[in-house]
Amino acid sequence: MKAHIHLLQKERIASRMPLEVNSPPQTPSVTLDEECQARPEYMHVSTVTDHQLDVSYSRWMRLNGSQGKLFESMRRLENRCSELQTELMMMEAKCTELEASRVAAKEEIEELKRFQEQTSFNSGTIPQKDAREIEAIKSERDEALSEVQTLKMEKEYLMQQLKMLKITMEENEPEPPRPI
């Protein structure tokens, strides 16, 4: 059963699907308050004059609009970056946990080998029960090793995405507006 789950997780990683199947994506609920009236926070009033529009002012307005888009894009990149960092930390914690599990399984196998050597030395054969237990522990160890490898691949993938996002953020960093 665990091997089947592990195989499914590998397929999901390869196709870049989320690993959690049972949990549906969380979507915030949106409700409308029918009594609420939308009002702008700031009222902007334009004045009609005979003066021509200052060229530097219009250029500043165009830059200000594009910077708003740039800041929005940067905000989204920063959010994605923090999501990836959180996901990376969770994967690292899971890797650490699985690594500890692998070490414990390895120690248990070594202990069983010593026990097996003692019993085979004393009786000459291995009891069937002990042989099954050894095989079960070996299969658990192999599954844990496979899971560690999978998580290492995921961690590497997330690190690459994080680096790409940081590079993108550095390239899109806006220049401060120049004083007029």
The answer, yes or no, to whether residue 171 has pLDDT greater than 80, is yes
Higher pLDDT, 112 or 10: 112
- Flag whether 18 is in a domain: no
Q: Which of 35-44, 56-65, 156-165 has the lowest mean pLDDT?
A: 35-44
Per-residue pLDDT at 63: 61
For residue 131, being part of any structural domain is answered with yes
Residue 150 binned pLDDT confidence (cut-offs 50, 70, 90)? very high
Query: Would residue 10 count as lying in a domain?
Result: no
121 located within any domain:
yes
Cα–Cα distance measured from residue 89 to residue 47, given in angstroms and rounded to the nearest whole number: 55
Q: Where are the alpha helices (DSSP H) in the chain?
A: 2-14, 55-123, 128-171
**Integer Cα distance of 108 and 102 in angstroms:** 10
Q: Higher confidence at residue 50 or residue 109?
A: 109
- Which range of residues forms the domain containing residue 75? 60-174
Structural domain total, the chain: 1
Backbone angles phi, psi at 70, to 5 degrees: -65, -45
Instruction: Identify the three-state secondary structure at position 28.
Output: coil
The arithmetic mean of pLDDT across residues 41-45, rounded, is 47
Residue 48 within a domain:
no
7 falls within a domain: no
Residue 29 reports pLDDT greater than 60? no
Is residue 152, in this structure, part of any structural domain at all? yes
Listed in sequence order, the residues at least 6 apart from 116 whose beta carbon sits closer than 8 Å to its beta carbon are: 126, 130, 134
First to last CA, the chain: 69
Whole-model pTM? 0.34
Evaluate whether residue 9 is within a structural domain: no
Torsion angle defined by CA atoms of residues 108, 113, 117 and 119, in that order, rounded to the nearest 10 degrees: 50
Tens of pLDDT, residues 118-132: 877 666 566 677 778
Question: Is 127 within 8 Å of 119 (Cβ atoms)?
Answer: yes
